[in-house]
Structure 1
Amino acid sequence: MTETSRGVTAAAWWPWLLLPAIASALVASGLVLGAATDLRFGEDVESFVNVPLALGFSTVAAGIWATRPDTRGLKRLGLLYTVVGLASAVVFPAHAWANAGRDLLGADFAGWLGEWVWALGAAPLMGIGLVLYPDGEVPGRRWWPVPVGGVLAVVLLAGTNALMAFEPTRAPAWEPIAFAAFVLLLACAGAGLVALCLRFVRAAPGSDLRGQVGAFLIAGFLVVGFAALPDGNTPAHLVIALMMGAALPATVASAVVRHRLLDQQALAARLETVSASRQALVTEREDERLRLRRDLHDGLGPSLAAIGLGLRQLQRDVPDTQHVVVTALADEVQRAVVEVRRLCDGLSPDALQDLGLSTALAEVADRLGALGGPEVVVTAGPLPPLPAAHEVVAYRVLMEATTNAVRHSGASRVTVGLHWADGLHGCVEDDGAGIPAGARAGVGLRAMTERADELGGRTTVGPSDTGGTRVSLWLPGVHP
């Protein structure tokens, strides 16, 4: 990883580190308050299970948001894990605050909050998270009732528990709804486990998808099984609760790091596909430009030249009164011929088409060397047949670099190298004064860089071994 990429990664992470920081602060406040008020930690199973959920999923959510996800699925997971992490973080200090005594300011509110906010912690993971793992999408359209039912179950659980805590006298009226919501939640969690099993079975052995789903599936079975067990406040229940609470965030984090839940391989593949598509477009563009040049050079150009020749012959035979008109027409045709030649050279240099890449560069070197400046030497190894786009880019980049060296370097010798080794390599090196410190890249250098970038190549500029400047070009090995 380059220094620039490290800086970009750090810059992306910093804003989202606030999520695990808030969760850690809430959990720490619950620990401190519990210790100060002699809260029996070993018997506080329901609140302690939220500690690993808070710390784990707030960190995972930060990791997802820091990548700036561009798919709805990853955004769903990011939102889900954010809610789970922060809600789980609130449960623990709320429970500790309420148990500190009613004389403490806000203890009643904390007690009420702790009675229902848990439904936004572990419950969404069971009813929604299992079926959406690992990409935030359901396995198929028929599976959408599962996350919808999970959302409904979470809302009903949170709402009924909030109402029962707010008006305890009316709790019996809400208990059947709360029980039905819990049953619905377990049903959605069971369906989510089935979906995970299907994903696991369908995934290719040894694939990243199977690695993502496997451990999460085991953790999901354990968590759902633990949720269905009778309540208990023994130390054994506490240990099991902590293990179960840590299982899901640990497996998700493992998928992020080891099995690329954020799908870095897929991202790299997409980037590679985009790069290949861009190269194909550039190659197709250059091929089309070459065909257009041939049509102009072999069709329109000769036709215009023939018309011009006929007009020049007509000049001698027409009366003086028409001589001016014919001359003007002949001059206009001549200007059109010149313009066609200019267009042809712009579409693809004449020397490149007539001589080939190596010989065309040697012709440029001879022309520049004849100006009385530095000696220009071209050394070229054998080259395979190259696409038109590669030839044009190599010719224009190396010609521009050679021209710059002759005009501006103050060198006595300029060397142009061209060879093939896992791609097309070109180099222009001089023994001049080198690039001044602090000099900015000019239009020519930016154009050279952009030309190479279009084909997935690169252009670099640095000092040469003789103290001058070295311009290096590399284009990937693509054969026509």
Structure 2
Amino acid sequence: MAFRARGLQTDPMWVPRAAVGAVAVLVGVAGLAGAAAEGFAAAAYGVRLPLTLALAGTLVGVGWSVAGALLAWLRPANAIGWLLLVVGTMTQLSLTEEAFAAAGWLGPAAAAGDWTARAPGLVLTLVGGWSIMAMLGTLPAFFPTGRPPGRTWWWPVGVVALGAVLIQLHWLAGQPSDDPLGAVSFVVYLAGAATIWVLATIRLARSAGPRRQQLAWLLGSVILIIVVNLLGDSLVAQVAQITSLYLLPAAIAIAVLRYRLLGIDASPRADPVRIVTEIGTHVGASADTEGELLTAVLAAVRRSVAAPGARIRDASRSVIACSGDLQPDAELPPTAFSAALAVGDLPLGVLEVAPKWPEEGFARREERMLAALAAQVAAVLHARSLAEQLEAQRDAAMDARTRERERLRHELHDGLGPALTGMGLGLAGLEDAIRASSATTALQITGVLRAEVARTVSEVRRILDDLQPTALEERGFAEAIRRGAVSVAAALPVSVEVGPLPALPPRVEQTAYRVVAEAVTNAVRHAGATRLDVCVRGDEGDNLVIDVRDDGAGFDPSRPPRDGIGLASMRARARELGGELAISSSDAGTTVTLRVPAAVLIA
């Protein structure tokens, strides 16, 4: 019981829907009672009309009320359903009262047609007659939105209402139809109704599907009702007149079932589990060649709501996938479905789905379906993005491996190769000195070889440390930079200053360490410097900034030396981090600056 109470509180339309239910029960009871009275009158007093026809005439109000109750229940805010429900209710109560009077259940006077004995019936007949005439004249103005399309429509609506009042007053006065009041009443009514119908016809011609079909069925049924009610009082005419009264709820049923009146979708519902399974099948089978995965997923989304087209925009609003008739640059109607695609707090893009009927849009059930599928599309888009990032990282790893091999080749060729060659030549000279019994020369050569071996061992250690800088793990980034620069510079004076640093990922530390080592090595080998300054700091934007300065001869940055590791390798390392390497050089020395943006640091 508590659950039901919460349900009523959360449904803002429970009061009008409860009223619809109560009125529907009232009309149903009145219809059954009227049918019983009609059957009793036929059996007791003779048949006024064929019983089937009489019963059909007695239940006309039920048909109108059912159509009105359906629309009022599904769309409580729309006046069309309430209009049909009120008119149908008044009509049914009036017909039931008339059947009661004919059956003699209201007394002999009422059965004889004495209106003084049927005061409630008189009121119901007047109100019911007025409501029917007013509805038939003004319904095209209110259909299907529940309000006239513009202010100019209210003038003929008011004229129709006034004409219907005058017609009922003329009937109440019992005057002949050709007296002045009757003529004026019909002229006023027809003038207003004709104006509305002319405007409705123009509106019909300008409308697009499905609004045109909805209006056509309504206008056609109302025209037929009016025409057949001018045929007279013959039995055939009465059959046609009673039958025509059921055309209005039939036309509304067609508008709902076939053309989704008011966005009410009575078509078979798509199975969300099947759609999600289909999306999963595409994810598992597609290699996403040029967006095939997203196109297949969009096709499944379209099929779930019979949409003509759908597309996906990425976070920058660029269209990355389309399906169906929707073009990348096509403008969507205001009724199109749009949902933001996100995983957690990460925005991925937007899902846009074009409606089959631009004027009607999507039914609420379809919007709920699309909203649920949007989460699946977001997951697919995120998975695709992760796959692309993984592919890019794999390519970057392959490129980095290739560059590392090239760097190692240069190291061996330009560093160890000449050193070993020199030692080989020294050993040959030492051999010659020994044969010549020249101890002095042999000792000199031995000293040179000893120094060359020491330099070669240091170079090998540096190369090994570049391959896997263990100093970072043992000493930390700042101390590793300080000791590494001093070790590479050997006897050259080096000043290392490390300021406050942002948090650095391991990959950033390793790459920065190697860039500093390479810059110091190049300065030692090629600059002829007498001093080196290394500054490592974080700037106001939490960027990592490293400056390596020397006081050497300098060079032209546009024509760097070909030997050594090379500036191209340092620039490549900087680009791996999304950073940049800047070089300024003059006769007073060279400065190499590495800058890594904060976006890379927190990635």
TM-score (norm 1): 0.47
Tell which has more relative contact order, 1 or 2 (C-alpha 8 A, sep 6+). Answer: 1
The TM-score, its normalising length taken from structure 2, stands at 0.39
Query: Considering only CA atoms, is the larger Rg found in Structure 1 or Structure 2?
Result: 2
Higher helix share: 1
